[in-house]
Structure 1
């Protein structure tokens, strides 16, 4: 039968009781230090979690406010333009209220109303594209309806059939033109 004896510690090796008694104070200090460090890290973690949640809430609020501003801009972006057109509507209403207007009065009123309309468009950065006869044809701003024989240089505007319009630098509607054909 095998001999099951418990090995006896040598005189040089400390026993568990010796370790507990000699390292007890150091171990307790280390445990206390680690517990303090753990508490500090938990507090820091809670603080960072709070900062994260606040930053996330602020970002969500900023996104929501931006979406609301965009929605308002889409909904009311034309408000200034509409206000500028009200004077034109008033002039047309006044013209239609005249029952026995002469042709001269109607023409004068129409001219004044057109000036008001052009002014309202210009205040809103809408400008007229109205090339003069002989101007070079610009496919970015003009639409050629036909090419006609002409004494002018080829690829130049002969007549404007319908004015075009720009808003800032973007073409709303190209000017409809006839263009001089090659000779």
Structure 2
């Protein structure tokens, strides 16, 4: 009985001690002020906004790239087909160049030649409607982006680097080279020989 009374007497003291511990937190524990909490949230929000903007920019870049690729696919879809048509057109031109109209006496032969010329014109007009254009650069400056030099020769009155002959015309599809023009270009002439009389004087 005496032991029970002693325990009952000590119990309130323990409760008071426990309450005291709860009322006074550890002084070493970190405390965050409302201002610091707001600042941390604002920083997190700014970082999330930056990530979102970067993701949106990347998505837009992907969309534009895909759109550009689709446009290029449609724009140059006929490249292989157009390239295969160049040889027949070249043959039409060779046929026309091989015969001089003034030398044709037979009206039927002349009519046939006119038909070949009309066919060539119609084909070239069809090419242009689809963005395919012929390069016939005689008299122009040589441009390695569109021309392929086959030979060089001296040509009086022609500046060096000028195209003096087109062996085979080139073609571009829109802004893309389909076939370079094969050309001959003028080169600088040999320096004039010194006069023998002037040599003797010197």
TM (normalized to structure 2)?
A: 0.43
